[in-house]
Amino acid sequence: MKFLADENADLQIVVALRNSGHRVEFIASDSPGIRDDQVLHKADKVQSIILAADKGFGDKIFRHRLASNGIINRGIK
């Protein structure tokens, strides 16, 4: 599976997924400081599931009815 980890995602999760053979791009190291809408666009472009530590992405996708390959978050506000 392909994942795009937001910069607030836990590095340990990113490492564990990579060690399990998954492709994980990490915003904190690849594109630090980009806006959430840019993260959503990038995830859609590369067909990745977003990993995040907040509910912001889910709210934006639901509210604006955006396309998504999925979001996994820890549920922190």
Give per-residue pLDDT as tens, 25-44: 999 998 999 998 899 999 99
Model pLDDT, residue 68: 83
Predicted confidence (pLDDT) at residue 24 exceeds the cutoff of 60: yes
Look at residues 8, 12, 21 and name the one whose alpha carbon lies nearest to residue 51.
Answer: 8
Predicted confidence (pLDDT) at residue 76 exceeds the cutoff of 60: no
CA distances from 29 to 5, 14, 61 (A): 10, 11, 24
Q: How much of the chain, in percent, has pLDDT values that exceed 70?
A: 96
Predicted confidence (pLDDT) at residue 47 exceeds the cutoff of 80: yes
Local confidence band at 14 (pLDDT 50, 70, 90 cut-offs): very high
